[in-house]
Amino acid sequence: MAFFGLLAGILAASCPDPAARAATTERVVTNRYSGLAIEGFDPVAYFTDAAASQGRPELEAAEAGVVWRFRNEGNRASFVAHPEIYGPQFGGYDPTDLVRGVTCAGNPRFWVISGNRLYLFNRENSRDAFAADPARFLKEAAARWPELEENLAQ
């Protein structure tokens, strides 16, 4: 038990944002208090509006065991039809942290679309590093993700 407490403390220290640490045991980054994926931001709006936009409470859908919000019915319908395209990759965890072997929740305000997929980042400088060389980060993150994902709650 002490070992797990120490391990949790080390992992928590590696994530600078306390909100990011709040939901790093689920397969999809979820606010533990609201149950919302990616803090209620509309995942489709990143593609259609090129912006991080809050979804509306009356436009929700359940997918992957969490609640997603949307700005309009069209975005909701697109997501329901293709969550694998519109949902953030790696469950919303920062791919630059995955490369380091840790799962830190991405912040929906720091994002990049690369290869027609959405990636969220814990910090602005992580987003910028990824944007400079996405192929390198994606190769390394994809190699580490299965092992890291296995340790996340379902």
Provide the percentage of residues in the chain whose pLDDT is more than 90.
77
Domain parsing of the chain, residue ranges? 19-150
pLDDT per residue as tens digits for the range 89-99: 999 999 999 99
pLDDT in tens, the chain (154 residues): 443 343 344 444 445 444 444 344 588 999 989 999 999 999 999 999 999 999 999 999 999 889 999 999 999 999 999 999 999 999 999 999 999 999 999 999 999 999 999 999 999 999 999 999 999 999 999 999 999 998 886 5
In terms of Cβ atoms closer than 10 Å to its own Cβ (0-12, 13-18, 19+), residue 63 is: middle
